[in-house]
């Protein structure tokens, strides 16, 4: 493992190689998420949805329109919505190798339209694929991948059962920033 500036640890391989693999790990309580890609930059995040003072967190992590959506009681459970915003933003911050040094308020997540807007200076010339899901009522997860046009995106989530075997919970094969399997692919929005 190696560190690059203020970013997370990276595999100690030469990133100039054309097929440089990406790996990212996240955990929250007993839950662990691991993401891998044969090439590209990716990030993942998993968070237990637990009661917190989200108003304070939203001030430093959410855009104005996201905070308005959190305050709108018609929009559903604000706690679950906040964690979906947070996990997408943290996954993107990891994917662009800036971590939480990135001003999360500059990122705009629209779960309704399946769009993620971010400054084009983050990773210029790359396409973005992103996914956000509530894996359980109490668990939010997200993955973001910067890739070139030749990289197909195939999202898969697994869950460890009580038995030693792993079973696939559900394959998610498109952009479910909205959480809907079969939604159109999300590509970079600048």
CB neighbour list of residue 55: distance below 8 Å, 6 or more residues apart: none
Tell me what pLDDT residue 67 has: 94
Tokens at residue 68, please? 């308005």
Tell me what pLDDT residue 173 has: 32
The Cα 132–Cα 151 span in angstroms is 20
The Cα 169–Cα 135 span in angstroms is 9
More confident of the two residues 154 and 18: 154
DSSP string of 84-109, one letter each residue = HHHHHHHHHHHHTT-GGGS-GGG-EE
Q: Which residue reads 């709108």 in tokens?
A: 72
pLDDT digits (tens, 9 = 90+) for 139-189: 899 988 887 765 566 666 666 655 444 443 333 333 334 333 333 333 333
Average of pLDDT values for 126-132?
79
pLDDT digits (tens, 9 = 90+) for 61-111: 999 999 999 998 777 789 989 999 999 999 999 988 888 888 899 888 887
> What fold, for 2-12+21-172?
Ribosomal Protein L22; Chain A (3.90.470)
pLDDT digits (tens, 9 = 90+) for 117-128: 777 777 766 778
Distances (CA, A) of 67 to 54, 63, 73, 110, 185: 10, 6, 12, 12, 26
Tokens at residue 110, please? 């629209």
What is the CB neighbour count within 10 angstroms for residue 23? 15
**What is the DSSP code (8-state) at residue 112?**
T
């Amino acid at each position: 493992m190696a560190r690059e500036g203020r970013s997370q640890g990276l595999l100690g391989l030469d990133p100039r190689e054309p097929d440089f693999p990406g790996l990212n790990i996240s955990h929250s309580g007993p839950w662990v998420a691991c993401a891998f890609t044969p090439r590209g930059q990716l990030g993942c995040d998993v968070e237990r949805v637990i009661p917190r003072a989200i108003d304070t967190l939203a001030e430093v992590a959410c855009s104005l329109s996201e905070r308005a959506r959190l305050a709108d009681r018609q929009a559903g459970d604000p706690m679950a919505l906040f964690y979906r915003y947070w996990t997408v933003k943290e996954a993107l911050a990891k994917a662009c190798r800036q971590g939480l040094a990135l001003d999360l308020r500059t990122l705009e997540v629209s779960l309704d339209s399946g769009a993620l807007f971010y400054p084009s200076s983050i990773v210029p010339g790359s396409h973005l694929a992103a996914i956000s899901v509530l894996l359980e009522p109490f668990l939010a997860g997200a993955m973001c991948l910067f890739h070139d046009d030749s990289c197909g995106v195939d999202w898969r989530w697994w869950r460890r059962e009580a038995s030693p075997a792993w079973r696939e919970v559900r394959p998610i094969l498109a952009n479910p920033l909205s959480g809907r399997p079969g939604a159109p692919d999300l590509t970079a929005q600048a």
